[in-house]
Structure 1
Amino acid sequence: MKLMWFHLMPYTELPADFRDANPSVWVDIHSSLFDPKRAHLMYNDFMDELEYAADCGFDAVCVNEHHSNGYGLMPSPNLIASSLARRTQGDTAICVMGNSLALYNPPTRVAEEFAMIDCISGGRLIAGFPVGTPMDTCYAYGTNPSQLRQRYLEAHDLVMRAWTEKETFAFNGRFNQQRYINIWPRPVQTPHPPVWVPGGGSVETWRWCAEMNYVYCYLSYYGYKAGKATMDGYWAEMDRLGKDRNPYQAGFLQFVGVGESRDHAFELYAEAAEYFYGRCLHVDPRWATPPGYTSEGSQRAGLESQVKKAADSNVRGKSTGERFASTAREMQGIVDNGYVIIGSPDDVVEQLREVATNLNVGHLMLLLQYGNMRKDLTRYNTKLFAEKVLPKLRDVHAGWTDHWWPKPMAAEQRAEVPAFLPKLAAE
């Protein structure tokens, strides 16, 4: 199994009364709450943490894209990924989860920037292609929700052709018309970097990942208990389409806190977890489900799930707005609901083996920094996981082959990355 270190880069200094004094952490969060000088320190701490995770031996470091919010400070994950491509060594994958394709005009920008990252890193890029949250795509960036998926699919086709076609070509789509497409640079990996698609419970996304042979990633913040219904739905669709149940064609996100014991971990991570679920996920439900964003097929599946599980509190079948509104915000509920897995290293190993097996997931993306977690605590959590948990999970899904992992250049062919960059002498 692959163990991946994921960073959201949350704003760590939202005030204690944020939930009561503000309608939402997303879209209309007030600019007066953002302090650029404090963010300077946050960004540098976050990048230190990502580099530290790579040094600790995680298979990948992961970043993502969000806009107009205090929950994740990465409107351009490519900026962070380009730095990681230069500052990390070995075969550590750079997972950009991802670029919201429908927001780029023209989408060739994605093809070019991802190709740059792949070249700089020597072929270590995982290319994430999310449709994007309604908060980011429809409200912050003003995309018509009824056109979002069509824009996304057309942008995807343009990017893939830009990566794979050898000759200059013209593209005449509904939303993109370009006479000359001939990107430089081009990616190291051929025919292109592995493509992963993060999503919720969209039936269309499941089917599309199966047909395109892409990895489906469920990036839920509600943990493995709530995530099981969604992953079961994905694998049921794969079965219906006659696809293998290769666990490496799936990814899942899980919060984790490791300590000397369960009680120790509870005490260590309570503040950070309660900050995240109480403030970072304080999203006004009016931003969650704009008309046209959710397809008819997914709406029907959700209604059927609600009817079948009317007495069940499972997140699957709830609207996005209902999920935000019903989120547990006290540490006991956060742990009991499985949002955050905590415990001693052996406790965490046991729980994550269960997650990987029951959800049939070969790529486990781990949030070991969340909320307002201090840098020293993040390093403690990361180091303890890397030393005491990670080695004991390597054998999970050992009988399967991961066809969706980067294929970097041979080590001897790559540029040497110095431990530090000496200052150039003044001329």
Structure 2
Amino acid sequence: MTMKSIFFHLMPYRDLPADFETRYESIWVTPPNTELCDPKKVAEYYRWNLDELELADRLGFDGVGVNEHHQNGYGFMASPNLMAAALARRTPNNSAIMVLGNTLALYQPATRVAEEFAMIDVLSNGRLAAGFPVGTSMDVNFCYGVPPTQTRPRFREAEELIIQAWTRPGPFSFNGRYNQLRYVNPWPQPLQKPHPPVWLAGGGSVETWELAGRRDYTYSYLSFFGAKFGKKLMDGFWNTMDEMGVDRNPFRAGFAQQICVSETDERAEKEYLEHCSYFFKKCLHIPPYFFEAPGYRTRKSTEFAIKTNQPGDIAAAAALDKNWKTLNEEGFIIAGSPATVADRLIEAAKTLRVGNLHALLQIGSMPHELTKKNITLFAEEVLPRIRHIWDDEGWTHRWWPQGAADRAVTTVPAGTTA
């Protein structure tokens, strides 16, 4: 089974002022919307974003990915399901549609997620991968007001309700702590049986790893610090799978990586440095008191983080001067010629033992035309080099949407353009 490459789009605000990080408290929760966010620009961004995702489908990416965040300029996709519905109709080459995902703790009742995901699955002819993230503390606790200690209990109950709604004949009753429903009877149910594959996403929670192993879900490590900083965390994931008696199938894991491809290593720096700097200086401008509210992280995950020096690693990564040399050497970005990028991606995938790459190819202020170039060069010159890195181990990808095209036997149409 081939390595899966998903073009994952954060959808950032691309025109923050040059002095944003010195004038404003945070990119998340409190950046003044009427002062900084121009709806006319957002309308243009949304068109660009969808054009870029649709281009990735035409060029042969295995999947196109969207996610959910609130009240920020880092990624203003408050409803990924709206974007996924558009993509279901406008991706004729049948890429998987990866919604990573709906932040379950925010939906009450959670049957709303079951219904909308089922709609997307039917609209896309069974191409949905259903992401169930716990969600950031900024989104869940600060923007939506969920008490931090309720974040994971709400998530667990929502996950149980959604799976029942997809697999249990209705109508039936559900009497949970946060969802009390006399009738659960969603129309439609998903096209994929028993239900769309569930993809978990996170940044190091032990409970999320255990859920992935117990329920046979995938786990994707979503970070901007690269494989060097991610190895300790992913080693923890695989050790947890070993303890639970779960196999080391690389397709049960994924990682996100910022990628910049150009004709040469030198040209990549000239074209992309400005936009990578924008991302790390502005899009990640978040004070510690917003990043994680007290009580958001469980005791078990906190103990693991301390044991493995995770807070120290994150602090060290955050303190590094984000010049081009550091960004590349530390793995925050993988940039350069197609050959350079392919070699480094193979090394990263082997280091973390992951079979799913969430390729972040639109970064920060990167303009539309440069983004299309990045997507195109990756698809045509990098993707073929990295597809087969796990072929010799003979694993099966049991978590790929049933209706998505098999790119291993699909060729990119000659002359494909944006």
Q: Same fold (TM over 0.5)?
A: yes
Residue in 1 aligned with 2:414? none
Alignment partners' CA distance in 2, 1:366 and 1:249: 17
Task: Give how far 1:323 is off.
Answer: 7.1
Matches within 5 A, 1:130-149: 130-149=133-152
Given the two structures, how large is their TM-score scaled by the length of structure 1?
A: 0.92
Residue in 2 aligned with 1:425? none
Alignment partners' CA distance in 2, 1:235 and 1:224: 15
Residue in 2 aligned with 1:416? none
From 88, 92, 103, give the equivalent of 2:91.
88
SS in 1 for 2:256: strand
Task: Give how far 1:260 is off.
Answer: 1.4
C-alpha offsets along residues 85-138 of structure 1, whole Å, 9 cap, x if unaligned? 010123310000000001011100000000000000000000000000000000
Task: Give how far 1:304 is off.
Answer: 1.5
C-alpha offsets along residues 302-342 of structure 1, whole Å, 9 cap, x if unaligned? 22123xxxxxxxxx33487x478536433332222111001
Residue in 2 aligned with 1:313? none
Q: Percent identity?
A: 50
Does structure 1 residue 358 correspond to structure 2 residue 360?
A: no
Alignment partners' CA distance in 2, 1:238 and 1:67: 32
SS in 1 for 2:257: strand
Contact 1:255 1:368 in 2 (8 A): yes
Q: Report the AA paired with residue 201 of structure 1.
A: G
Residue in 2 aligned with 1:75? 78
Q: Report the AA paired with residue 408 of structure 1.
A: G
Alignment partners' CA distance in 2, 1:226 and 1:385: 24
Unaligned runs of 5+ in 2: 407-418
Matches within 5 A, 1:150-299: 150-299=153-302
From 360, 369, 391, give the equivalent of 2:384.
391
Alignment partners' CA distance in 2, 1:46 and 1:239: 39
Contact 1:283 1:324 in 2 (8 A): no
Residue in 2 aligned with 1:341? 334
Residue in 2 aligned with 1:422? none
Does structure 1 residue 381 correspond to structure 2 residue 374?
A: yes
Alignment partners' CA distance in 1, 2:116 and 2:202: 22
Contact 2:94 2:404 in 1 (8 A): no
- Answer with 328-337 or 189-198: which moved more: 328-337
Alignment partners' CA distance in 1, 2:38 and 2:377: 32
Task: Give how far 1:355 is off.
Answer: 1.0
C-alpha offsets along residues 243-296 of structure 1, whole Å, 9 cap, x if unaligned? 110000001000111111111111111011000001000001111221111111
Unaligned runs of 5+ in 1: 307-315, 412-427
From 363, 368, 378, give the equivalent of 2:361.
368
Residue in 2 aligned with 1:415? none
Given the two structures, how large is their TM-score scaled by the length of structure 2?
A: 0.93
SS in 2 for 1:146: helix
From 317, 320, 332, give the equivalent of 2:311.
317
Distance 1:37 1:171, change over 3 A: same
Alignment partners' CA distance in 1, 2:324 and 2:298: 35
From 3, 6, 9, give the equivalent of 1:7.
9
Contact 1:259 1:344 in 2 (8 A): yes
Distance 1:324 1:180, change over 3 A: farther
From 394, 398, 401, give the equivalent of 2:396.
401
Contact 1:277 1:327 in 2 (8 A): no
Alignment partners' CA distance in 1, 2:150 and 2:313: 20
Alignment partners' CA distance in 2, 1:319 and 1:260: 33
Report the count of equivalent residues.
401
Distance 1:323 1:82, change over 3 A: farther
Distance 1:323 1:50, change over 3 A: farther
Distance 1:409 1:88, change over 3 A: closer
From 58, 65, 69, give the equivalent of 2:61.
58
Task: Give how far 1:158 is off.
Answer: 0.6
